[in-house]
Amino acid sequence: MRIPPSWRASLKARWLEGFLLIGLLSLLLWLGATATPMVRALLPTPTATPLPQGGGEFDGDSAYRQVAAQMAFGPRPTGSQANKKTADYIIKQLQIFGWQIEIQDFTYKGVQGRNIIGKAGKGPVVVIGAHYDTRRVADNDPDPALRNQPVPGANDGASGVAVLLELARVLDKKRLTNEVWLTFFDAEDDGHLDGWDFLVGSSEMASHLTVRPEEVIVVDMVGDNDQQIYKERTSTPALVDKIWTIAAGLGYSSSFIPVAKWSILDDHTPFLQRGIPAVDLIDFDYPYWHTTQDTADKVSAASLERIGRVLQALLENRQIELQTIS
């Protein structure tokens, strides 16, 4: 086929246009991959609206995403790679939310552990604590064949950590009337396994305190869909009553049940033993405790939100009017 001369000129022009267009697109793609941050800012990039930090209301859905983030690492027993990744993740979140970070390294039976403390505010110290490790084996599983499997730890570990991380995001540091220590304990949950004790991380912290906290509040297994937080019998009564009064004022009396039920050995115990007022917020009626069924579908964003909003009101010293409970 022969092309008339008039067409040839037109085609050459179009080829030249196409060649220049391809070159321009290639240049833009190369800039997008290799440009400095200043150049990148000039190129179209996807945008995301971050959640507000400081001064907002505790958000249960945001806390639930923190549960999912921990679960993505898998089971997290002390000394495991998943445990270390979880600790690194917690540290990164605290950095993002502007908390001063202190790391307490310790060794127990040849295994390295880490307590993590995020600090903010001024005044007497209040510790809000949760453990981030999970139990090595599901020795309470109803199926004997599964009792050597690790506990996933959605409620027993991840729920308490999620509450603390969401508090780290939303607490208004200007409203804090205390120096708040958001404390993430390691090595809580492997007691009675290979000669291990429970509460290793919290015991380590309590025995090396250089500042005496005014109060310690431990948050453990609080995310159950069927949330039932009874008063724990060994906890300091005055502190328990203060928390339950706030919960009632927020309309949460169906979840914060004003009845003493359990006596629990938990991360508040080492502080009680040193005469420090302490309380354990725990739902010990959780049927999946130390089983392979402690998975994220058992955790409720609404349950996390109730706990978080009570603690936020406490820490920000909000005046809560007691609701009339019919």
Structural domain span for residue 270: 60-315
- Tokens linked to 147: 């009792």
- What proportion of the chain, given as a percentage, has pLDDT over 90? 80
pLDDT beyond 60 at 20: no
Residues 286 and 203 in one domain: yes
104, pLDDT greater than 60: yes
Which of the two residues, 19 and 112, has the higher pLDDT score?
112
99/11 same-domain check: no
Residues 291, 150, single domain; the answer is yes
pLDDT digits (tens, 9 = 90+) for 120-159: 999 999 999 999 999 999 999 999 999 999 999 999 999 9
Got the DSSP string for 219-270? EES--BSS--EEEPTTS-HHHHHHHHHHHHHTT-TTTEEEEE-----STTHH
Give the per-residue pLDDT at 326: 32
CA atoms within 13 A on the CB side of 132: 33
The average confidence (pLDDT) of the chain is 87
Would the pLDDT of 268 be above 80? yes
Same domain, 81 and 30: no
pLDDT at 309 over 60: yes
Say yes or no to pLDDT of 52 above 80. no
Residues 93, 213 within the same domain? yes
Domain of 106, CATH number, reads: 3.40.630.10
Q: Within this chain, do residues 247 and 303 fall inside the same structural domain, yes or no? A: yes
- Is residue 264 situated within a structural domain? yes
Structural domains of the chain, count:
2
The per-residue pLDDT for range 222-263, each reduced to its tens digit, is 999 999 999 999 999 999 999 999 999 999 999 999 999 999
Percent composition of the chain: helix, strand, coil (DSSP 3-state, to 5):
40, 15, 45
Residues 138, 209: contact at Cβ < 8 Å?
no
Question: Is pLDDT at 49 greater than 90 in this prediction?
Answer: no
For residues 24 and 91, state if they share a domain.
Answer: no
- Per-residue pLDDT, averaged over 310-320, amounts to 91
Residue 194 lies in a domain: yes
pLDDT score for 39: 25
| Residue 153 shares a structural domain with residue 23 | no
pLDDT of residue 319: 76
**CA-based nearest residue to 75, from 133, 8, 10:** 133
> Which SS3 state, helix, strand or coil, does residue 209 take?
coil
Look at residue 16 and tell me whether its pLDDT is greater than 90: no
pLDDT of residue 322: 58
Among 81-85, 216-220, 319-323, the range scoring the smallest mean pLDDT is 319-323
Higher pLDDT, 4 or 63: 63
Are 94 and 27 contained in the same domain? Answer: no
**Position 326 in a domain:** no
On whether both 26 and 95 belong to a single domain, the answer is: no
Question: How many Å apart are CA 263 and CA 143, to the nearest integer?
Answer: 27
Average pLDDT value for residue range 82-108: 98
Q: For residue range 171-187, list pLDDT tens digits in order.
A: 999 999 999 999 999 99
